[in-house]
């Protein structure tokens, strides 16, 4: 290595980040060095803080720094209407539509047998326990409109139906193979209001 060891170490760590190649990592490392101790300290503290302070909400499994999260703690949100999403960015996307006044459940993924992702890898058990504890009238399955998302929706339908809860699925307006996170607000809002029985 032609650079000092501490720089090489930072470059190596930065290059582990998704979408960051060796060259970008090097540019970032030199940038951090130039910015000085104060900025570097703030960056380091933000990184340490996110890992230290953020955890899963014990009710809905979203990422939060207080438990229960702000949505679960909001008495104005309907606890009998639960929207199941794959990820936190998907939850944020649904929130952006301002169409949904219920609560959420974040699965942290979707079923994908080919990638070895089974039900026990998702927060499905947590969902069942939660619905036992706090029964809902309707579960809106808002997993992505792709193969994994559809498989997850059907699995949930099969799992939840015996309990008598109404299971609906968002569909209309969302392109197959798409990602909820990148859908525009109008499309997602329409998909939500046009949900149907699974």
Stretch that binds Zn ion, among 35-43, 56-64, 105-113, 185-193 (CB under 5 A): 56-64
Stretch near Zn ion under the rule CB under 5 A, chosen from 14-22, 26-34, 61-69, 161-169 = 61-69
DSSP symbol at 115: G
Is-contact 81 192, C-beta < 8 A? no
Q: Pick the closer one to Zn ion by CB: 60 or 167.
A: 60
Site for Zn ion in 63-82 (CB under 5 A): 68-69, 72
CA-CA distance, 71 to 86, in Å (whole number)? 17
Smallest gap from Cβ 44 to Zn ion, in A, equals: 29
| C-alpha to C-alpha distance for 16 and 81, rounded to whole angstroms | 40
Read off φ and ψ for residue 109, nearest 5 degrees: 135, -175
Quick one: 72 or 122, whose CB is closer to Zn ion?
A: 72
State the nearest-atom distance from the C-beta of 134 to Zn ion, in Å. Answer: 12
Q: Give burial (CB, 10 Å; 0-12/13-18/19+) of 23.
A: exposed
For residue 19, give both structure tokens.
């979408």
Residues 6+ apart with CB under 8 A from 129: none
- Rounded CA-CA distance 54/166 in Å is 32
Q: Does 59 bind Zn ion (CB under 5 A)?
A: yes
Is 127 an interacting residue with respect to Zn ion (CB under 5 A)?
Answer: no
Beta carbon nearer to Zn ion, 59 or 189: 59
Residue 83 binding Zn ion, by CB under 5 A: no
Smallest distance, Zn ion to C-beta of residue 189, A: 22
Is residue 60 involved in binding Zn ion (CB under 5 A)?
Answer: yes
Give the binding site for Zn ion (CB under 5 A): 57, 59-60, 68-69, 72
């Amino acid at each position: 290595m032609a650079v000092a060891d501490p720089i090489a170490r930072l470059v190596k760590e930065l290059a582990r980040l998704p979408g960051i190649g060796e060259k970008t990592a090097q540019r970032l490392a030199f940038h951090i060095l130039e910015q000085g101790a104060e900025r570097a300290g703030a960056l380091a503290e933000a990184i340490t803080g996110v890992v230290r302070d953020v955890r899963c909400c014990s009710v809905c499994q979203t990422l939060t720094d207080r438990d229960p999260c702000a949505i679960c703690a909001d008495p104005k949100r309907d606890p009998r209407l639960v929207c199941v999403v794959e990820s936190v960015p998907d939850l944020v996307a649904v929130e952006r539509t301002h169409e949904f006044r219920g609560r959420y459940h974040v699965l942290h993924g979707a079923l994908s047998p080919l990638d070895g992702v089974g039900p026990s890898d998702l927060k499905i058990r947590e969902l069942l326990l939660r619905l036992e504890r706090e029964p809902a009238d309707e579960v809106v399955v808002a997993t992505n409109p792709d193969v994994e998302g559809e498989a997850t929706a059907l699995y949930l339908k099969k799992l939840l139906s015996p309990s008598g809860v109404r299971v609906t699925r968002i569909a209309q307006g969302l392109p197959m193979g798409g990602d909820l996170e990148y859908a525009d607000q109008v499309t997602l809002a329409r998909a939500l209001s046009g949900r149907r029985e699974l």
